[in-house]
Amino acid sequence: MAVAGFSQGANNSFLLARALQRGADRDFSLGALAPISGAYHLFDVEWPAAIGGDVDPKASTYYLAYLTVAWNRIYHLYADESEVFRDPYAGHVATLFDGEHTIGQTNEALPAKPSELLRPEYTEMLLQPTGRLAAAAWINDDACLGWRPAVPVRMYAAHGDPEAVYANSERCERELRGAGADVTLTDVGDVDHITSLVLSVPQIATWFATLR
């Protein structure tokens, strides 16, 4: 089975590939892996870039709000939104991710940059996680760690991507190469997040076709 994924799916493609390699499904075996523009290192790379202004501010605000709300449902990071979000947004953020609001509606209801949404104490925790947030970091930031893909890995990303910063892919490639994997990283250029997908898919399709 050849596996590919984009953005959040890039992280998931690593996790699926690792599970297949470890025998999670006896009917499928891993043949190749091609992740595109993932945020593989949230705490060490992506969130510092988002908070520091290297990621598009509006996109950063959306993603940080989304992850905070979603992870609270799993890891119980806070009891009240006022612990992590500023007024006047505290108490209303989770409702924006209720499945009824469109991305456009949610973006419109959120501020323009993370510093207007997040409390300083929570921002500091994102940069130096402790407690339950640290546990979440450990669980969710290991896609490129602790294993050596036994199949070729061809990663794709864009150095101009204003959402999933290129340093994510560079670090992941180094980690996999250090583990002895057959891995390459192709930079598809000074383009945005979606365009990195458009430029990568034909290259991946061509490569996958040679593996048959």
Give the residue from 90, 121, 140 where a domain finishes.
140
Kindly provide the b/e burial profile for residues 141-163, where b requires at least 16 CB atoms within 10 angstroms of the residue's own CB: bbbbeebebebbbbbbbbebbbb
Mean pLDDT for 81-88 is 97
Q: How far apart are CA 6 and CA 124, in angstroms?
A: 29
Give the CATH number, domain containing residue 122: 1.10.260.160
What's the pLDDT at 140?
85
Helix then strand count (H, E) for the chain reads 9, 4
Which of helix, strand or coil describes residue 76?
Answer: coil
- pTM listed for this prediction: 0.91
The band of 212, judged by pLDDT with boundaries at 50, 70 and 90, is confident
65 and 113 together in one domain: yes
Angle at 135 between CA 87 and CA 18, to 5 degrees: 120
- Segment 37-44 shows an average pLDDT of 93
pLDDT single digits (tens) 173-206:
999 999 999 999 999 999 999 999 999 999 999 9
Confidence of residue 41 (pLDDT cuts 50, 70, 90): very high
Residue 34 is part of which domain span?
2-41+144-210
Helices (H), the chain: 8-21, 47-52, 57-75, 103-109, 114-117, 120-127, 131-140, 166-178, 193-210
Give the pLDDT confidence score for residue 173 in this predicted structure: 98
pLDDT in tens, 105-147: 999 999 999 999 999 999 999 999 999 999 888 888 899 998 9
As to burial, measured by CB atoms within 10 angstroms (0-12 exposed, 13-18 middle, 19+ buried), residue 94 is middle
Same domain for 134 and 150, yes or no, is: no
